[in-house]
Amino acid sequence: MKIESICCIGAGYVGGPTMVVIAKQCPHIKVTVVDINQARIDDWNSNDCGELPIFEPGLAEIVKETRGRNLFFSTNIDKAIDEADMIFISVNTPTKTYGKGKGMAADLKYIELCARQIAKVSKQDKIVVEKSTLPVRTASAIKNILDHTGNGVQFQILSNPEFLAEGTAVQDLLKPDRVLIGGDASTKAGQKAIEALVDIYANWVPNDKILTTNVWSSELSKLTANAFLAQRVSSINAMSEICEMTGADIKEVSKAIGMDSRIGPKFLNASVGFGGSCFQKDILNLVYIAKSYGLNEVADYWEQVVLMNDHQKNRFSDNIVNTLYNTVSGKKIALLGWAFKKDTNDTRESAAIRVADNLLNEQANLFVFDPKVTEEQIYADLDYLGNRFPEDNKNLLQVCSTPYEAIEGAHAIAILTEWDEFKAYDWKEIYEQMQKPAFIFDGRAILDKSKLEDIGFVYYQIGRGN
């Protein structure tokens, strides 16, 4: 089966970059990315790629090379489905905010809408690929909808979860650790569908990195990968608290354990807590799945990863309050960083949001600086929590366009994102401008403790005891 035309439904953080890279590596395939969000599609089509909706290093260059050649962005979803041999579903699968499974289960309404639209429009056999992260066994629901509402055409369902991380998406896609394809190898048609998708990736990914499994293993592997990664962060964060109590240093502990080849050195940075759109959502989804099978111990085990993460964020803000003589009411506190990690403007589930909210509850005056996040986004994140009126958020928190504006006259600085530029600041100058004693709470452990203490700061580093 030779694929000549691909459609991807969903032009977000995953659908966009993934299809851009497929278009680059497969010039013989026409790739059309569609979305219901007209503004997002307009941005993907923006002149000279000036306003792409997603900031990722290296992305704009590839869009310039491929757009209009074999890569197209459109809101004409029916046409793109009709023309495609293979359709990727890459829409959002957020945590449910209503009804059964509220706050835990994945909301699959957007997935179902896609399946129904594909069924309605398709006049020829198609391969449907799950790119979104989905609960295990979702493929059977999609197949059911397609088979019962379609026009009698044959659909093959594949699972092909995405493992890219934001900030390194292009490199992750060009050189993936592995590509995972789940399909039904028990039938000839299923085998052909798997081969068709393998052939696409084989244009640039070495064969030994393309794994094929059954559909359920593939769906579950994606949730498992995110659960393991998040668990590593919660594990090192749990140890960071013990370090602070005992005088150990989490960086030294991370290095010591990371040199064990069975543990490995990556993903062992203690922090103010993990954020991002997926870790919490996917673990809660896993917890919900386990509970729905009556596996309560399994559910409790994984839920602890999220609870530990909440604890880490809360204890960071508690420490600020306790250290500032048990009150931050009316005190100016500078927050450096709002994004959930460096090199992205994404703030979804960022630890900064929780820390800020806790400090606002204590009536602190917050001054926030982030090199990439907009003022609108920061207020939107706080307003979304619904803990106070939008005008109160605006009164209590100012968004600053320079770090110095945030720092001048502050009682304390909290570092919440590990932006490289923070390391290069003139900390001596900053010290001069602050109230004394001048406190720094380094939630990313990026600054040099002894240098800052020599300047005169009272310096607290996550995971480092005195």
Note the residues at the interface with ligand NAD (CB under 6 A).
9-15, 35-37, 40, 77, 90-93, 110, 113-114, 132-133, 162, 164, 166, 277-278
Query: In the bound complex, what is the minimum distance in angstroms from residue 92's beta carbon to ligand UGA?
Result: 11
Angle between helices 279-292 and 296-323 (to 10 degrees): 140
Query: In the bound complex, what is the minimum distance in angstroms from residue 199's beta carbon to ligand NAD?
Result: 23
Q: One of 8, 114, 243, 278 is an active-site residue; which one?
A: 278
Query: In the bound complex, what is the minimum distance in angstroms from residue 397's beta carbon to ligand NAD?
Result: 26
For residue 74, report the phi and psi dihedrals to the nearest 5 degrees: -155, 160
Single residue of 110, 163, 404, 425 touching ligand UGA by CB under 6 A: 163
The answer to the question of residue 243 lying near ligand UGA (CB under 6 A) is no
C-alpha gyration radius of the chain: 24
Q: Which residues contact 395 (CB under 8 A, 6 or more apart)?
A: none
412, containing H or E segment? strand 412-415
Given ligand NAD, ligand UGA, none, residue 93, with its beta carbon under 5 to 8 Å by kind, binds ligand NAD
Rounded to whole angstroms, the Cα distance separating 334 from 425 reads 14
* Nearest residue (CB) to ligand NAD, 164 versus 446: 164
- Within 13 Å, how many C-alpha atoms sit on residue 164's CB side? 24
* Nearest residue (CB) to ligand UGA, 93 versus 156: 93
Q: Which residues contact 143 (CB under 8 A, 6 or more apart)?
A: 155, 157
Q: Which residues contact 379 (CB under 8 A, 6 or more apart)?
A: 390, 393, 394, 397, 399
Segments in 207-278 forming alpha helices (H): 215-246, 250-258
Given ligand NAD, ligand UGA, none, residue 269, with its beta carbon under 5 to 8 Å by kind, binds ligand UGA
In the residue annotation, 400 being an active-site residue is answered as: no
The answer to the question of residue 267 lying near ligand UGA (CB under 6 A) is yes
Single residue of 166, 219, 303, 442 touching ligand UGA by CB under 6 A: 166
Query: In the bound complex, what is the minimum distance in angstroms from residue 179's beta carbon to ligand NAD?
Result: 13
Contact at 8 Å (CB) between 464 and 244? yes
End-to-end CA distance of the chain: 64
User: DSSP state, 340?
Assistant: S
- Within 13 Å, how many C-alpha atoms sit on residue 119's CB side? 18
The closest alpha carbon to 254, from 271, 245, 266, belongs to 266
Query: In the bound complex, what is the minimum distance in angstroms from residue 222's beta carbon to ligand UGA?
Result: 7
Query: In the bound complex, what is the minimum distance in angstroms from residue 70's beta carbon to ligand UGA?
Result: 25
Single residue of 115, 164, 239, 250 touching ligand UGA by CB under 6 A: 164
For residue 337, report the phi and psi dihedrals to the nearest 5 degrees: 100, 135
Rounded to whole angstroms, the Cα distance separating 411 from 229 reads 35
Given ligand UGA, ligand NAD, none, residue 400, with its beta carbon under 5 to 8 Å by kind, binds none
- The residue range among 3-11, 39-47, 271-279, 315-323 that interacts with ligand UGA, by the rule CB under 6 A, is 271-279
Q: 216-235 mask for ligand UGA (x: CB under 6 A)?
A: ----------x--x---x--
Given ligand NAD, ligand UGA, none, residue 365, with its beta carbon under 5 to 8 Å by kind, binds none
- Determine if the peptide bond prior to 17 is cis (ω within 30°): no
Q: 105-144 mask for ligand UGA (x: CB under 6 A)?
A: ----------------------------x-----------
Residues 323-352 that bind ligand UGA (CB under 6 A): 340-341
| CA distances, 263 to each of 53, 62, 178, 243, 306 (Å) | 37, 36, 19, 19, 21
User: DSSP state, 111?
Assistant: H
Secondary structure, 3-state, 51-70 = CCCCCCCCHHHHHHHHECCC
Given ligand UGA, ligand NAD, none, residue 271, with its beta carbon under 5 to 8 Å by kind, binds ligand UGA
Given ligand NAD, ligand UGA, none, residue 323, with its beta carbon under 5 to 8 Å by kind, binds none
Given ligand UGA, ligand NAD, none, residue 358, with its beta carbon under 5 to 8 Å by kind, binds none
Q: Which residues are catalytic?
A: 278
Question: What residue ranges bind ligand UGA (CB under 6 A)?
Answer: 133, 162-166, 226, 229, 233, 267-269, 271, 274-279, 340-341
